[in-house]
Amino acid sequence: MALGVQIIVIISVFGSLVVLYSILYVYKCVWDKVFLRVANASKWVKKATSSLLQILRKRPTHQNSSPSDPPKN
């Protein structure tokens, strides 16, 4: 009788560990996909902002001269 109870307890503990592992594995897969999407989105935003800043830097000033030009006398 005691041996049957021990076997049932061992099987139930092992089964609960398997269920817990599978839940954590699915959670990890979902988290990785979400993290990769967020990382890709942040890369896209960084790229867009850097290109926008480059465009803004290349625009001529209201005097139509860049700061690297020598002053005209």
Tens digit of pLDDT for each residue in 36-70?
A: 888 888 888 888 888 888 888 886 655 555 555 55
User: Is residue 61 in a domain?
Assistant: no
Asked if the structure places residue 33 within a domain, the reply is yes
Give the chain's domain count: 1
The residue among 63, 43, 47 whose CA lies nearest residue 55 is: 47
- Is 15's pLDDT higher than 90? yes
pLDDT at position 65: 53
Please check whether residue 15 lies inside any domain of the structure: no
CB neighbours of 65 closer than 8 A, spacing ≥ 6? 72
pLDDT of residue 3: 83
Domain assignment present for 49 = yes
Report yes or no on 31 lying in a domain: yes
Structural domain range at position 40: 22-56
With respect to residue 32, please indicate whether it lies within any of the assigned structural domains.
Answer: yes
- For residue 31, what pLDDT is reported? 85
Whether 51 is in a domain gets the answer yes
Residue 16 within any structural domain of the chain: no
